[in-house]
């Protein structure tokens, strides 16, 4: 499998972490969905891109993909 976070982790480290079960597969999937959404958004409407992504991830609902692409990272609390 290819390394979808090559800009963050080198391939060998990514494969080692995946082999050890230390990679959050859902997080990687969501990252790929967000990246693809940003790329395609310049060419299509948001609704068209979400439908396109639904074809790539047919097990996800329209609203699920919408939540993935529009969710923001939680701010870290300063305690």
Confidence band, pLDDT 50/70/90 cuts, at residue 59: very high
* The pLDDT of residue 2: 83
Answer yes or no: is 37 within a domain: yes
Q: What is the pLDDT of residue 74?
A: 63
Residue 2 belongs to some domain of the structure = no
pLDDT category at 78 given cuts 50, 70, 90 is low
- For residue 54, the enclosing domain spans 25-70
Q: Is the per-residue pLDDT at 42 higher than 60?
A: yes
Count up the domains in the chain and report the number.
1
Closest by Cα among 71, 53, 72, 73 to 62: 53
Is residue 6, in this structure, part of any structural domain at all? no
Euclidean distance between CA atoms 34 and 32, whole angstroms: 5
| 18 domain-assigned | no
């Amino acid at each position: 499998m290819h390394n979808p976070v090559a800009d963050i982790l080198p391939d060998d480290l990514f494969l080692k972490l995946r082999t050890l079960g230390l990679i959050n597969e859902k997080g990687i999937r969501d990252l790929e969905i967000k990246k693809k959404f940003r790329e395609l958004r310049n060419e299509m409407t948001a609704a068209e891109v979400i439908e396109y992504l639904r074809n790539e991830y047919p097990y996800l609902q329209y609203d699920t993909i919408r939540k993935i692409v529009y969710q923001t990272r939680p701010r870290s609390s300063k305690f």
